[in-house]
Structure 1
Amino acid sequence: MVSKKVTWGLLAAWVVHDLEELATMSRWTRKNRVLPTTPAQSAIAIGLMGGVFTAAAAAGARTGGRSKFFQTVLTGFGLHSVTHLATSAIFRGYTPGVLTAPTVVAPFTLWALRRLRAGGIRPNTSPRALMWFPIAVGTVHGIARFATRVRRNTAELPSARR
């Protein structure tokens, strides 16, 4: 059994990290011509991913950290920090999320994994389970693009057709 600081801390660390991404993603993607993302698309994708992190933190809190879902999301979150650092190295500069990846994401994940082990819980995340992360990221961004496209197309309808 571990402290709620470990389980709900995952959600708190994610919020801090994704606030940085929310504040910078759409401007950065337009400037660097990388899958341009509107502020609405960023907000929707981040909100949807927030649902995943909330569910994982709740599962972790409910099981005292024993939930495989919680452990997988926690581990994936930590590995995600590496992708931010690699992306910044590739672009040779700032990329959304790179400030909080080494200062919040990685330290929180390492601390939480240590707390789980100290509580007698051996995190067990399979590589197959971690493959859900790119799928989840792609899905939330796809839904966000679809939702903003539908909203934009609906807004362009003549008022008589609404």
Structure 2
Amino acid sequence: MTWGLLAAWAVHDSEELATMGGWVDRARPRLRAHLPWVPERVWDRLRVSPAQAGIAIGLMGAVMATAAARGASTGGRSRFYQAALVGFGAHAGGHLAQAVLTRGYTPGVVTAPLVVAPFSWWAWRRLGAAGVRRDDRATAVGAALLLPAAALCHAVARRLAPAPTSSSGDSG
């Protein structure tokens, strides 16, 4: 089940890779209609090119591969593995909240309830059945570092890849 974290992540992030680049531009009319109070500059800052999405996803993939390897080498007892597992599972709720807030599809929302949440639940049950104790500090850290880790991956991607090419609201 420890390598399953990497497999579940790969399925989920394949959806994100296929849909994240350019999503804000494609969804902007809907976003403007449902969230008119959000300033245009916010939508501009949230724009991600396909290259940026690929880099950010690749960076997070390295983190998840490392976590899965640590989990495999410790029988699931690694704090890093447990933190990654809880962060991965918790972020399914974020995907669902984004879709509700924007009233439509958001990258990753299909596989969040179909892959992310069920895998995480299953993995925790398997760990418990194997006698692996959940490290509450690790799980708290995993939840706390989820957003900063994703933000860091995207920040690095923005530095390494060109900005999206379409201008504010041009493709819609």
- Per the normalisation by structure 1, the TM-score is 0.85
1:138 matches 2:140: no
| Aligned twin of 1:84 | 95
Distance 1:129 1:96 in 2: 22
For 2:120, give the aligned amino acid. T
Do structure 1's residue 29 and structure 2's residue 24 form an aligned pair?
yes
Gaps of 5+ in 1: 1-5, 151-162
Alpha-carbon distance in structure 2 between the residues aligned to 1:91 and 1:10: 28
Amino acid at match of 1:97: G
Can you give the 5+ residue segments of structure 2 that lack an aligned partner in the other structure? 29-42, 164-172
Aligned to 2:2: 7
Residues 9 and 22 of structure 1: is their aligned pair in 2 closer, same or farther, counting only changes over 3 Å? same
- Equivalent pairs, count: 145
Write the mapping of 1:94-109 to structure 2, written as runs, cut at 5 A: 94-109=105-120
Q: Take 2:156 and 2:27, find their aligned partners in 1: how far apart are those partners? A: 22
C-alpha displacement of 1:130: 2.5
Residues 85-139 of structure 1 show CA distances to partners (whole Å, capped at 9, x for unaligned) of 0000001111000000000000000000000000001212432442221111111
**Equivalent residue runs for 1:103-118 within 5 Å:** 103-118=114-129
Distance in 2 (CA, whole Å) between partners of 1:125 and 1:81 is 20
CA RMSD of aligned residues (A): 1.4
Matched with 2:82 is 71
Find the residue that maps to 2:89 and give its secondary structure.
helix
Higher relative contact order (CA 8 A, sep 6+): 2
Whether the aligned pair in 1 keeps the contact of 2:51 and 2:162 (CA below 8 Å) is no
Q: Percent identity?
A: 54
Say which SS state the counterpart of residue 22 (structure 2) adopts: helix
How far residue 28 of structure 1 moved from its aligned partner, in angstroms, is 1.4
Please tell me the residue identity of whatever aligns with 2:132.
I
TM-score, reference length from structure 2: 0.81
More displaced stretch, 17-26 vs 125-134: 125-134
**CA–CA separation in structure 2 for the residues paired with 1:89 and 1:96:** 13
CA distance in 2, matches of 1:129, 1:91: 26
Q: Give the Cα separation in 2 of the matches to 1:125 and 1:23.
A: 34
